[in-house]
Copies of this chain bind each other. A is one copy, B any other.
Amino acid sequence: MTLEIPEVVINRLPVYARALASLAMEGETVVSSQALGEKLDVTPAQIRKDLSYFGRFGKQGRGYNVQSLLTKLREILGLDRKWRVCLVGVGRLGQAIAEYGGFEPQGFQIVAVFDSSPEMAGKTIGNCTVRDSVELESYLRQNAIDIGVVAVPARAAQQVVDQLVNGGIKSILNYAPMMPHVPRDVAIRHIDPVLAMQSMTFYIKQRDPLPAK
């Protein structure tokens, strides 16, 4: 049943969970879909509909219990667990990812890093010693890794993704500026600031049709 939940719904759940965590920190115990919607610029109807996929939450006219909804969402999303992450590519971007402090507190621990460049092998990045990318597949077969992060140049990304998939990885976070192919049973998300900017320039152009200086 849960497999039929639209991906867009799943993608919104972490946003709800984060907002609820923030409300809990502020000492709020109850929140209406109206108030949660205003906080997130989402309609209350959408919140109610999204949550309805997972059962009945809250009582009509009384709002949601912040802590119990948060606990439920964390359970649904697996946010109450630790997840083991491997990072491929430790150029400038990969190093910034390895040293980014935001993953670990959320349960995402980078436990292995790989790079194809001989001069990186053996260096310490974050808490990991850099391994040669030729070992990637065999490493993945021997170690339980949940998520692969791709931080290699576009031209190398498909090959790295293929290695991750062959090694059994089912969840990939891709920072390379291209869209690698993955089998249907592999989830992939793209972090692509250029595409994000390009999707906004359309609106600037609508507003201001004259070329910028």
- Chain A: residues with CB nearer than 8 A to chain B? 2-3, 10-11, 13-15, 17-19, 22, 40-41, 76-79, 81-85, 92-93, 96-97, 99-100, 102-103, 106, 108, 144, 146-147, 170-171, 173, 177-179, 181, 187, 189, 191, 193-207, 211-213
Contacts and interface: CB of A to CB of B under 8 A. Distances in A.
18 contacts: A3-B206, A14-B198, A77-B202, A79-B201, A82-B212, A92-B96, A92-B99, A93-B100, A102-B177, A103-B194, A103-B197, A171-B200, A171-B201, A171-B204, A187-B200, A189-B196, A189-B200, A191-B193
Contact of A146 (B40, B92, B194, B204): B204
Contacts of A203: 10, 170-171, 187
Nearest to A85: B197
A212 B80 CA distance: 11
A153 B170 CA distance: 31
Given A10-B199, A189-B196, A196-B191, A205 B108 contact: no
Given A14-B198, A100-B93, A199-B14, A212 B2 contact: no
